[in-house]
Amino acid sequence: MSRTLQDLLDKAVSDGVAPGLAAAVAGPGGVHHFAAGVRGLSDPRPMALDSVFWIASCTKAITALAALQLVERGLLSLDNPIGDRIPMLAAPKVLDGFEADGAPRLRAARRAVTLRDLLTHTSGLAYDFCSADLTRYFAATGENLLSGAPTLVFDPGQHWQYGIGIDAAGWAIEAASGQSLDVYFAENILRPLGMADTSFAPDADRRAGMHVRGPDGGHIAVDAFPNAPQMWGGGGLTSTAPDYLKFLQAIMSDGAGIAGANTLALLHDIQTDHPAAGDLISSNLAFSQDFRPMPGTRKHWTLGFLRNADDVPGGRRAGSLAWGGIANCYYWADPASGVAGVLFAQFLPFADPKMMATFEAFERATYAG
């Protein structure tokens, strides 16, 4: 299996899928790490096993775990109004359409936002790159995701919509713990799991370069994206493939001392069955393509992950946990088979078809091995 996976990644690089890739898998046969290509077009050093990637929304599952740790300790509640911890969400407004002249209509939300809403992406908080209504709202008002009290695109609990809910969960963690998110993560998750290369402040010398696809389909080197502390909980971490695999191994087994049985159940079990769970319809194709993972498979959301309700032919079993990060980072953890995998790249747009095909082939080869 190890040779097959390395050959697959080497071929992906030679075929122009990405300038460089890093990956890691764990299963009954042990743990294997891989690197292929170069760190970036502006850094031709070979990609290394310890190369650091901006993992973006792969951060979300770690933030969800942190929030549930505080629920276990009685410092946060899943179902009390989160406005008790986050004043800017104490009286949220809902975008209720637009006037004929394009002016947005706002009204009070019909109920309070809860931590459960935030963790399941049912709060009404959205990202503009996958919400045409929020994109239009920002264009009309000049606001953005960091402008004061966030506006909801629907009433809490009404739909599933990917967005900044996990960033807000990060704000709640800081308020409840009295610690900044970086300190809380380090003390309660990262150091206990030995994730020494995961942080909000990466080693610049080991960082993989960022890219975008150009008009001809090739890659163009760009500057690293800015890291806003307000958005750390939803996408601020940098990590390595081996480090992130340690997190997945802990979550799909006994919690490794960082998660109790109830927290693990909340991370594994279905919490919302909205039919759109996991699907992203892009309103900014330069940032993300449409994302419909595991097409034809029933999917649900837990309090931290996308969970498939059916076996994926040739791959993960039902009940597996998965998600990704905007710079084409992807992972899955399959408790039924004891298999987990991570594949990291650094380029936009997200859900790149060639990268998605590589990830699917990587998964199938892992199980075939």
pLDDT mean over 302-314:
97
| 321 token code pair | 């946990």
User: Backbone phi, then psi, for 286, in 5-degree steps?
Assistant: -75, -20
Residue in the block written with tokens 């502006």 = 42
Residue in the block written with tokens 């402040």 = 201
Average pLDDT, the chain: 96
What's the farthest any 2 CA atoms get from each other in the chain?
Answer: 62
Contact between residue 122 and residue 89 where contact means Cβ atoms under 8 Å apart: no
With residue 115 as reference, give the H or E element that holds it.
helix 115-120
Rounded Cα–Cα distance for residues 21 and 12 (Å): 9
Catalytic residue among 51, 57, 131, 177: 57
pLDDT mean over 101-129:
98
Q: Which of 182, 239, 178, 185 is closest to 207 using CA atoms?
A: 239
Q: Domains plus CATH for the chain? A: 2-52+180-368 (3.40.710.10), 82-170 (no CATH)
| 258 token code pair | 């960082």
pLDDT at 187: 98
Catalytic residue among 51, 123, 131, 162: 162
pLDDT mean over 286-290:
97
The length of the chain is 369
At 136 the three-state DSSP class reads: helix
pLDDT at 4 over 90: yes
Per-residue pLDDT tens over the stretch 22-47: 999 999 989 999 999 999 999 999 99
Buried b (16+ CB within 10 A) or exposed e, 33-47: bbbbbbbbbebeeeb
The bridge status of strand 210-213 relative to strand 219-222 is: antiparallel
Please, which pLDDT band fits residue 276 given cuts at 50, 70 and 90? confident
pLDDT at 226: 80
pLDDT mean over 325-347:
98
Q: What burial class does residue 236 get, using C-beta atoms within 10 Å of its C-beta: 0-12 exposed, 13-18 middle, 19+ buried?
A: buried
Catalytic residue among 51, 60, 123, 330: 60
Rounded Cα–Cα distance for residues 152 and 131 (Å): 11
pLDDT mean over 90-112:
97
Q: What burial class does residue 90 get, using C-beta atoms within 10 Å of its C-beta: 0-12 exposed, 13-18 middle, 19+ buried?
A: middle
pLDDT mean over 170-181:
98
Is 162 designated active site?
yes
Per-residue pLDDT tens over the stretch 131-158: 999 999 999 999 999 888 999 999 999 9
At 251 the three-state DSSP class reads: helix
Rounded Cα–Cα distance for residues 150 and 152 (Å): 7
pLDDT at 304 over 80: yes
| 102 token code pair | 């394009």
Per-residue pLDDT tens over the stretch 53-62: 999 999 999 9
Percent of the chain with pLDDT over 90: 94
Is 93 designated active site?
no
Contacts of 285 (CB under 8 A, 6+ apart): 349
User: Backbone phi, then psi, for 278, in 5-degree steps?
Assistant: 95, -15
| 312 token code pair | 């994926």
Rounded Cα–Cα distance for residues 334 and 321 (Å): 6
Is 57 designated active site?
yes
Per-residue pLDDT tens over the stretch 218-253: 999 999 888 888 899 999 999 999 999 999 999 999
At 64 the three-state DSSP class reads: helix
Q: Which of 72, 169, 75 is closest to 117 using CA atoms?
A: 169
pLDDT mean over 116-134:
97
pLDDT at 121: 98
Contacts of 119 (CB under 8 A, 6+ apart): 64, 67, 68, 78, 165, 166, 169, 271, 303, 304
